[in-house]
Amino acid sequence: MKYLLMALAFFAVSIAPAKAEVEDYDFDKAHTQILFFVDHLGFSKSQGEFHEYDGMFSFNRSEPEKSSVEISIQTNSIDMDDKKWNEHMKNEDFFNVEKFPTMNFKSTAIELTGDNTAKLTGDLTILETTKPVTLDVIFNKAAKHPFNGKYVAGFSAKTKIKRSDFEMNYGLPLVGDEVDIMIEVEGVRRGGDVVNQ
């Protein structure tokens, strides 16, 4: 049961009261990846990644449904493993990073689907267009880190969006509209000590 409760740490709505049961987590950026895949002319699924972001998630032990997650991603940190491709993704055809330096996600709802799975719904904003997005989330583990002694929670999440829903229409339909998003998360609890289980 303790693991089911911790599974809610990454996903849910935020109205949590400020008391001991509420735990705040910072993203461990060395072990968190924000990846996406999109069809490239039918030849392959091209992969990209965002390296810079800010945010956190909160977990309410007594009322897990009142937990929360929020993240702001720096669009200029996009990495396609190619300099010219990176430059194209940053210009007006795609992310237009000078005008829209961030894209944002904030949780709004949760639906438990299993002992360690849930659907996380939130508002995703890209190019100043906001749409609801639902991620399928798997809780992997929450425990004391074996090397640094800090308390860590880990999750895997995935979803699909259509970039045209966010007015990103360049290259359609030759370059895919549907974007697969995969996120691997490790969060370190603020304070670091292991709570009584």
26 inside domain: yes
User: What are φ and ψ of residue 64, in 5° steps?
Assistant: -60, -25
151 inside domain: yes
Query: Residue 17 above 80 pLDDT?
Result: no
65 inside domain: yes
Structure confidence by residue, pLDDT tens digits, 24-58: 999 999 999 999 999 999 999 999 999 999 999 88
Give dist(CA 77, CA 89) in Å, integer: 10
| Strand segments (E) across 113-195 | 117-126, 129-144, 151-162, 175-189
153 inside domain: yes
Give dist(CA 11, CA 60) in Å, integer: 11
Residue given tokens 């009322």 in the structure block: 63
Q: Which residues contact 50 (CB under 8 A, 6 or more apart)?
A: 34, 73, 74, 75, 77, 78, 79
Q: How many domains does the chain have?
A: 1
CA 85 to chain CA centroid, Å, is: 23
Query: Residue 132 above 90 pLDDT?
Result: yes
197 inside domain: no
Structure confidence by residue, pLDDT tens digits, 85-115: 999 999 999 999 999 999 999 999 888 888 8
196 inside domain: no
Task: Determine the average pLDDT of the residues in 110-131.
Answer: 92
Beta bridge partners of 105: 71, 124
Q: Which residues contact 165 (CB under 8 A, 6 or more apart)?
A: 129, 131
Structure confidence by residue, pLDDT tens digits, 151-172: 998 999 999 999 999 999 999 9
Calculate the average pLDDT of the chain.
87
Q: What 3-state class would DSSP assign to 4?
A: helix
63 inside domain: yes
Give dist(CA 91, CA 76) in Å, integer: 10
Give dist(CA 96, CA 107) in Å, integer: 25
119: domain CATH number is 2.40.128.110
128 inside domain: yes
Domain of 180 in residue numbering reads as 2-189
Query: Residue 9 above 70 pLDDT?
Result: no
Determine the pLDDT at residue 157: 96
